[in-house]
Amino acid sequence: MKQYFYEKESQNSTLREQSLLARLPDFISYAKQECLHYSKTFEHIDADKITSREMLAQLPITRKSDLMQLQSKNAPLGGLNAKTANIGRIFQSPGPIYDPENTTDDWWRMGQAFYAAGFRTGDVVQNCLSYHLTPGGFILDSGARACGCVVIPAGPGQTEQQLDVIENLNPQGYCGTPSFLKILLDKASENHRNISSISKALVTGEALPETLRSEFNAAGIDTLQAYASADVGLIAFESTAGKGLIIAEDLLVEIVRPGTLEPVSDGEIGEVVVTSFNADYPLIRFATGDLSAVKPGVSACGRTNMCIKGWMGRADQTTKVKGMFVHAEQIEQVRKDYPHIAKMRLSVTQVNYNDQMHLQCELDTVEYSDADTKGLIDSVSISLKKITKLNGTVELVTVGTLADDGKVIDDLRAIG
């Protein structure tokens, strides 16, 4: 049995770097020719000169946070897609942001992550990431099938039915968010359900605290994580050697200082910027908004690509809740429907490893009766769910309660 999903995962790191940099001039020329966005953004760029990381760092970036505006001006994909792209699906992520997919096998390159986590041909995998509108379920589905696995397209929720499926089909693997795996474990323990067939898990969409990983391991589930996005696909993944995430093959990843966008030193926290050689959806210096840091050295598993320390927060006010991005613009969209609410602030916390949203709404000086207050809370709760696709509690607070610091989303979860 082969040791790696791609044999090139163990290639000489210098040769990998040289090979990727050598692809840049032709790929940038291709993007300028095929994509309206890059024909404008790179109009005065001489692609032939972009042959080093130093020259790459001179190119303008495209921010994930700018996709909504780009797409509103040039629907549906903001001109980032190639004119000759073979697009089989278009998804809607919170924002809304629209994401394409070419339905060829493992287009998201997730096979690497599943293979590193021990998934092999014939394994049955319960995929509990959503298949509804967002691409998450399809991203994991394609990666598991690339390893020869049989996928149960379960999606999230309906815990009792999920436990029935596990007892009936005895899947060897789980993929989805760590918080939902925790829910399944707790529910199985509470109701004396047998889910012992699951011995491995690949989790994504949320941070994986070591305390929670230890809980999974104690239950007999070897759990590794993948770092992926709806735009890029797989960015980095863990191996059984642990100690950081390994950058996926065929990507150039930079860690830059937010604001200045200058590359930071190894070990210093900065924003993750990705260049993906995807002919259908070229992403060149794509700023994810995620924070991480380079981890010096290579993994003990023999994979030689650059390692990062994993997700370490956000460079902007966008955050991820239960695997779904929530944007400051969405909270402002909620607020605009209520003329007597001056400010809103969304706090994100965790209870028993499950993400919780709490929206504080600062009222103006208008007096409200108890009935009016309840009606307003109910109405805002409905709007919050409609716009973010997530449930949250709502609290009305008096003028002056919220600090005048411009903060709309306050992520209070511990990173670990």
Contacts of 96 (CB under 8 A, 6+ apart): 68
pLDDT at residue 416 tops 70: no
C-alpha span between 49 and 104 (Å, rounded) = 33
302 inside domain:
no
178 inside domain:
yes
C-alpha span between 24 and 20 (Å, rounded) = 7
264 inside domain:
no
Best CA proximity match to 70, nearest among 90, 47, 99: 99
Provide the mean pLDDT of the chain.
Answer: 93
Model pTM above 0.85: no
Please tell me the predicted confidence (pLDDT) of residue 237. Answer: 98
Final residue of a structural domain among 248, 266, 286: 248
For residue 277, give both structure tokens: 């050689």
Please tell me the predicted confidence (pLDDT) of residue 406. Answer: 64
Residue ranges making up the domain that contains 62: 7-248
One domain for residues 123 and 14: yes
Instruction: Give pLDDT tens digits for 259-311.
Output: 677 888 888 889 999 999 999 999 999 999 899 999 998 899 999 999 999 88
The pLDDT-based confidence of 378 (bands split at 50, 70, 90) is very high
Count how many residues are written for the chain: 416
Final residue of a structural domain among 215, 248, 281: 248
75 inside domain:
yes
Of 356 and 315, the structure prediction assigns the larger pLDDT to 356
The pLDDT-based confidence of 224 (bands split at 50, 70, 90) is very high
Q: 101 and 76 in contact (C-beta within 8 Å)? A: no
281 inside domain:
no
22 inside domain:
yes
One domain for residues 347 and 210: no
One domain for residues 207 and 344: no
One domain for residues 93 and 203: yes
One domain for residues 244 and 329: no
Token pair 């005895």: residue: 170
One domain for residues 31 and 169: yes
Final residue of a structural domain among 208, 231, 248: 248
300 inside domain:
no
| Amino acid (1-letter code) at residue 408 | V
One domain for residues 347 and 237: no
197 inside domain:
yes
Query: What is the tally of structural domains in the chain?
Result: 2
One domain for residues 336 and 218: no
Please tell me the predicted confidence (pLDDT) of residue 407. Answer: 73
Q: 81 and 281 in contact (C-beta within 8 Å)? A: yes
Instruction: Give pLDDT tens digits for 330-356.
Output: 898 898 889 889 889 999 998 888 899
One domain for residues 181 and 65: yes
Please tell me the predicted confidence (pLDDT) of residue 340. Answer: 84
Give me the torsion for CA of 289, 295, 299, 305, rounded to 10°.
60
Best CA proximity match to 209, nearest among 280, 139, 137, 310: 310
One domain for residues 150 and 37: yes
C-alpha span between 409 and 414 (Å, rounded) = 15
One domain for residues 220 and 352: no
C-alpha span between 414 and 416 (Å, rounded) = 6
| Amino acid (1-letter code) at residue 160 | E
Best CA proximity match to 105, nearest among 23, 227, 5, 224: 5
Q: Is 378 exposed, middle or buried (0-12, 13-18, 19+ CB in 10 A)?
A: exposed
CATH of the domain at 403: 3.30.300.30
Bridge partners of 226, per DSSP, are: 237
One domain for residues 41 and 172: yes
C-alpha span between 177 and 134 (Å, rounded) = 14
CATH of the domain at 204: 3.40.50.12780
